[in-house]
Amino acid sequence: MTSGPLWQQQGQDLVNPDLDLAIERVIRASRAVIWKAWTTPELFAQWWIPEPYTCRVDKFAVHAGGGFATSMSEDGSTFTPHMDAAFLVVDEDERLVFTNAVDSTLRPANPMPVAVTGEVMVIPVLVPVTRNSGCSRVGASSPSNWHR
């Protein structure tokens, strides 16, 4: 597994907090479920575009150098292009990096869109086990009661 986001691995932050948007999200699901949602076209289409729009996955090749293309529809019948992007890094069950600065054929996007580069890191998060979580409590309030 790699250490840290791609933009930090060069020994410098390539994200400028005054100009760039970084979004982090912790999702309570197993690594396998998250990975499958990102790498299975039928599941990806269910969440990639917010309601009330419908997403259609036109191309989906999850490997470094592969890509994906999606279309969107308001009425479910007339679709317009949404995103055409390339996967730059695919580390099974751990990490995906994609960009639309180049399209799914690795050619410069034309016309040039507002560039989006996304990095998805599927990492285990330690959470305290409580009575309400449906899990059994291991200890009182020490690191021994934290589980992946």
Q: What is the pLDDT of residues 70-127, one digit of tens each?
A: 999 999 999 999 999 999 999 999 999 999 999 999 999 988 888 888 888 887 766 5
Lowest-pLDDT range of 1-5, 40-44, 112-116: 1-5
| Eight-class DSSP state of 51 | T
The reported pLDDT for the residue numbered 74 is: 96
pLDDT for residue 5 is more than 80: no
- For the purposes of burial, counting CB atoms within 10 Å of the CB of 131, is it exposed (0-12), middle (13-18) or buried (19 or more)? exposed
**pLDDT at position 1:** 45
- The confidence score (pLDDT) of residue 19 equals 80
pLDDT for residue 144 is more than 80? no
- Non-local CB neighbours of 148 within 8 Å, separated by 6+ positions: 124, 125, 126
Mean pLDDT score across all residues of the chain: 79
Q: What is the pLDDT of residue 148?
A: 42
- The amino acid occupying position 78 is T
Q: Please name the residues in contact with 70: beta carbons below 8 A apart, sequence gap of 6 or more.
A: 45, 48, 49, 55, 56, 57, 58, 81, 82, 83, 84
pTM over 0.75: no
pLDDT tens-digit series, residues 112-140: 888 888 888 887 766 555 544 443 333 33
Residues 6+ apart with CB under 8 A from 132: none
| pLDDT given at position 26 | 81
For residue 40, pLDDT over 70 is answered with yes
How does DSSP assign 6-47, residue by residue?
GGGTTSS----TTT--------SS-HHHHHHHHH-HHHHHHH
